Amino acid sequence: MNQPNDTDREVVISIRGLRNQFGSQVVHDNLDLDIYRGEIIGIVGGSGTGKSVLLRTIAGLNRPKAGSVEVLGIDVLNAHQDGRADAGVNWGVMFQDGALFSSLTVRENVEVPMRTVDGLDPQLRRALADLKISMAGLPYFAGDKYPSELSGGMRKRAGLARALALDPQIVFLDEPTAGLDPIGAADFDQLILGLSRSLGLTVFLVTHDLDTLHAICDRIAVLAEKRVLVTGTMQDMLTVDHPWVHEYFHGVRARAALDTKAAASGPTKD
């Protein structure tokens, strides 16, 4: 992939000196990370390295002990909720199992964020919700269903549709392909890639899925030793000399994913 230098690109999320601590257990210490506009960044790390905590911290669901988080130039930790909205900073979060409101249909779920928009005609809101549902790859009739009537994969898609309801610039995805069969996971990868490119989305993706990392991530950030150990492309990861990173990207599963990717894209791929 041909990407401009880091210095040329617009930073949409900037984390400096982040410290997260629960009781005496330090999850992040002095963590720095920059995320650029339009990229899909995959966050990997062993269990308990605080991948989801990092996601929740940036999305404002968890308050860190120290450090700063700037999203689109706004200091989200100190900005008032209204101030954040006034600056046009909005993001969507897709939780692991969709986290849909169980008492509402899928369409009503997608309409919930749109209700905050003043003067939006209910008919139009409904039509736009249907559009988001369709863009998330769900059939039309899924809009009338309740979350409990959907399969896990469909719930994830519905969760994505809700996350995209207000055309956010950034979406956070927590393990988007966990619990999906390989075909469903590959479809979901392509959906994220397609939406990211056509909507100009910046995607922050927490995953364990090596296939996802290979298939769609522009950049990978490895969480280890309480900080972002290394960031870079998949190719960069293969040359990192750290025991965990080496094990992760050179293990049997990683090899298999790499082979699949190579077979799919042909040997000319860089």
Partner 1 sequence: MIPPMERPDFQISLIDAAQRVTIKGAMTLPHATTTEADFQTIATDRDVHLDLSGVTRFDTSAAWIIASLDARLKDAGQTLEINGTSEEIKSLLRSVTAAMPTPTVVEQPKMTFMDWVASIGQSMASAFMYLAELVGFLGLFLARLVRSLRHPKDFRLTALFHHCEEVGLKAVPIVALMAFLIGVVLAFQGSTQLKQFGAEVFVVDLIAISILRELGILLTSIIVAGRTASAFTAAIGSMKMREEIDAMASLGLDPAMMLFVPRILALVIMLPILGLIANVMGLLGGGLMAWIDLGISPALFMTRLVEGTDINHVIIGMVKAPVFALIIGVVGCHAGMQVKSNAESLGRMTSSAVVAAIFAVIVADALFSIFFAGIGM
CB 41 within 8 A of CB 218: yes
Q: Which is nearer to partner 1, 29 or 218 (CB)?
A: 218
Sheet (strand 66-71) strand order? 25-36, 11-22, 66-71, 74-75
C-beta closer to partner 1: residue 32 or 86: 86
| Minimum separation from the CB atom of position 176 to partner 1 (A) | 19
60 in the Ramachandran plot: left (φ > 0), alpha (ψ -120 to 50) or beta?
left
Tell the smallest beta-carbon distance from residue 58 to partner 1 (Å): 21
CA distance 71 to 57: 12
Q: Exposed e or buried b for every residue in 189-210, given b needs 16+ CB within 10 A?
A: bebbbebbeebebbbbbbbbbb
Interface residue list for partner 1 (CB under 8 A): 82, 85-88, 90, 102, 114, 116-121, 124, 127-128, 130-135, 140-141, 144, 148, 164, 166-167, 194-195, 197-200
| Shortest spacing between CB 126 and partner 1, in angstroms | 10
- Which residue, 93 or 195, is less far from partner 1 as judged by CB? 195
CB of 167 to partner 1, least distance (A): 4
Residue 35 makes CB contacts below 8 A (sequence gap 6+) with 11, 12, 13, 14, 41, 202, 204
Write a three-state SS string for 107-175: HHHHHHHHCCCCCCCHHHHHHHHHHHHHHCCCCHHHHHCCHHHCCHHHHHHHHHHHHCCCCCCEEEEEC
Q: Which is nearer to partner 1, 124 or 256 (CB)?
A: 124
Q: How far is the CB of 227 from partner 1 (least distance, A)?
A: 34
- Closest distance of CB 185 from partner 1, Å: 21
Pick 118 or 241: Cβ nearer partner 1:
118
Cβ distance to partner 1 smaller for residue 87 or 178: 87
Minimum distance of partner 1 from residue 145's CB (angstroms) = 11
**Could you give the C-alpha distances from 254 to 42, 212, 234, 246, 270, in angstroms and in order?**
15, 11, 11, 10, 17
Distance, in Å, from the CA atom of 233 to the CA atom of 16, rounded to the nearest integer, reads 21
Are 218 and 187 spatial neighbours (Cβ–Cβ below 8 Å)? no
CB nearer to partner 1: give 44 or 163: 163
